[in-house]
Amino acid sequence: MSHDAEPRPMTSRASGPLTGEAQVPGDKSISHRALILGALSVGETKITGLLEGQDVLDTAAAMRAFGADVVQHGPGNWSVHGVGVGGFSSPEGVIDCGNSGTGVRLIMGAMATTPITATFTGDASLSRRPMARVTDPLSQFGARITAREGGRLPITIEGAADALPIRYRSPVASAQIKSAILLAGLNAPGETVVIEPEQTRDHSERMLAGFGAQVHAETAAEGHVVTLQGQPELRAQAVAVPRDPSSAAFPVAAALIVPGSDILVPGVSRNPTRDGFYVTLLEMGADISFENPREEGGEPVADLRVRHSRLRGVTVPESRAASMIDEFPILSVVASFAEGKTVMNGVSELRVKESDRIDAMARGLEANGVTVEETPDSMTVHGASGVRGGGRAVTHLDHRIAMSFLVLGLAADQPVEIDDAGPITTSFPDFVPLMTRLGARFD
Ligand code: S3P
């Protein structure tokens, strides 16, 4: 769904210690994949803990439009009656993926090797984002694709009738590119191979294997190589979605910078391909313990205990960027309170997320008294013992920019305003009430 609701400004202000338990929502990446693989399998997939953010609701609506029966039974509790690999039918209307790059890119992959036609659109943010990174490999499968100038949405795809498997070396480390290709490879005979320059999040590989596909991954001299055997019969599964480490990052960061805080964030995924933010925080001296480690729904999870900490700046190695790609905005807030500078290298992908996140963070932090340096592919934040605040941040339809600046205001000397809290519903609909229960002050 594309949103043209009136912008909703919001302010956060210096708060007392944050305490209590933060039950963050289900993982966004896994939620999208559970709906899509459920729709491509035979039988009834039961999903618990599904994120009911707008991005995922848009993917649920898209799966219905392609012919799957998708039903909500209760909060987070959903079922999908799939149509099987190659079973999608042409949707009647345009598929509107709203704000979601993951939604649109994975769904384009999932239909590109079935002989049906679909047109995809999205909101102003999604319509600015590059899609050729996915449509180029999808056309190699034999799909015919028409895009707006610059390879942007809206895009129409005529899926390939007799798809050929591909071997594709991705120029960008991107789980969305990898996943779009693997989903397209499901309905091509033989082996589809994706080579990524760095390993990215592996939820698609784990879940495809769980649904019965043959997937093999190895790190070789040429990169991280993932091979899928095409035309499997996917069997419906029960999927328990762990809590999202990228959403947990916001209360975790808030507890680290608000003096006296001590919170528990239970049941968070600790998948090593998503762990870079937590590794970095530990290097900065954060007091975080990972309690009660266990496995849920095929993913490692733990309860995170987080206390206010004195932090020092670090240099984040470029090789870690993929495992924390969504956490750089909130890391730059944490870094503002650390002693010394924090250097983030090799992060040019941040410029093509829901907003140009380097620019959005740099401008918003500067407006609040933080010194930031940027290059096309790096950002350096100069930390201090306190942050002035008192500024306004422009969020550019980007949920993570909105939440990052609301967290900044909880520990800044003066209140911090954002121009629009509306986009937060895409990934973390309960963010404001959850943070308020911990002791955060918003108005
Ligand atoms: C995602 C992959 C990442 C991430 C996005 C979710 C996914 O994008 O930024 O929020 O679910 O595959 P890229 O793979 O394009 O870096």
Q: Are residues 17 and 69 in the same domain?
A: no
Q: What per-residue confidence (pLDDT) applies to 323?
A: 98
**DSSP 8-state class, residue 45:** E
**DSSP 8-state class, residue 112:** T
Closest ligand 1 atom to 174 CA: 14
Q: Are residues 187 and 292 in the same domain?
A: no
Is 4 domain-assigned? Answer: no
What percent of the chain is predicted at pLDDT more than 70? Answer: 99
Q: Are residues 281 and 249 in the same domain?
A: yes
3-state DSSP assignment of residue 322: helix
**Other CB atoms closer than 10 Å to residue 174's CB: what's the count?**
23
Distance from residue 324's CA to the centre of ligand 1 (Å): 10
Q: Is 321 in the pocket of ligand 1 (CB under 6 A)?
A: no
Q: Are residues 38 and 178 in the same domain?
A: yes
Q: For residue 433, what are the contacts with CB-CB under 8 A and spacing of at least 6?
A: none
Confidence of residue 296 (pLDDT cuts 50, 70, 90): confident
Of 206, 230, 254, the one marking the end of a domain is 230
Is 426 domain-assigned? Answer: yes
The mean of the pLDDT values for the chain is: 97
Q: Is 286 in the pocket of ligand 1 (CB under 6 A)?
A: no
For ligand 1, atom 13, which residue shows the shortest CA distance?
Answer: 174
Pair 196, 223: CB distance under 8 Å: yes
Is 42 domain-assigned? Answer: yes
Instruction: List, for residues 366-388, the tens digit of each pLDDT value.
Output: 999 999 999 999 999 999 999 99
Q: Is the pLDDT of residue 399 over 60?
A: yes
Is 1 domain-assigned? Answer: no
Q: Is the pLDDT of residue 1 over 70?
A: no
Confidence of residue 262 (pLDDT cuts 50, 70, 90): very high
Of 230, 254, 280, the one marking the end of a domain is 230
Q: Is the pLDDT of residue 297 over 80?
A: no
Q: Are residues 183 and 320 in the same domain?
A: no
Q: Is the pLDDT of residue 2 over 60?
A: no
Of 198, 230, 262, the one marking the end of a domain is 230
Q: Are residues 165 and 21 in the same domain?
A: no
Is 236 domain-assigned? Answer: no
Confidence of residue 177 (pLDDT cuts 50, 70, 90): very high
List the CATH number of the domain containing 140. 3.65.10.10
Q: Are residues 22 and 33 in the same domain?
A: no
What is the pLDDT averaged over residues 19-36?
Answer: 98
What is the pLDDT averaged over residues 301-315?
Answer: 98
**DSSP 8-state class, residue 241:** P
Instruction: List, for residues 211-248, the tens digit of each pLDDT value.
Output: 999 999 999 999 999 999 999 999 999 999 999 999 99
Is 115 domain-assigned? Answer: yes
Q: Is the pLDDT of residue 424 over 90?
A: yes
Is 2 domain-assigned? Answer: no
Q: What per-residue confidence (pLDDT) applies to 5?
A: 78
Q: Are residues 220 and 250 in the same domain?
A: no
Q: Is the pLDDT of residue 3 over 90?
A: no
Instruction: List, for residues 328-344, the tens digit of each pLDDT value.
Output: 999 999 999 999 999 99
Q: Is 398 in the pocket of ligand 1 (CB under 6 A)?
A: no
Q: Are residues 219 and 339 in the same domain?
A: no
Domain count, the chain: 2
Q: Is 102 in the pocket of ligand 1 (CB under 6 A)?
A: yes
Pair 73, 60: CB distance under 8 Å: no
Confidence of residue 322 (pLDDT cuts 50, 70, 90): very high
Active site annotation includes 303: no
Q: Are residues 279 and 300 in the same domain?
A: yes
Range of the domain at 364: 10-26+242-442
Q: What per-residue confidence (pLDDT) applies to 4?
A: 58
Q: Are residues 165 and 224 in the same domain?
A: yes
Closest ligand 1 atom to 322 CA: 16
Q: Are residues 89 and 226 in the same domain?
A: yes
CA distances from 259 to 72, 138, 306, 310, 327 (A): 41, 50, 12, 9, 22
Active-site choice (27, 123, 244, 326): 326
Kindly give the interhelix angle for 328-336 and 245-257, rounded to the nearest 10 degrees: 10
Is 237 domain-assigned? Answer: no
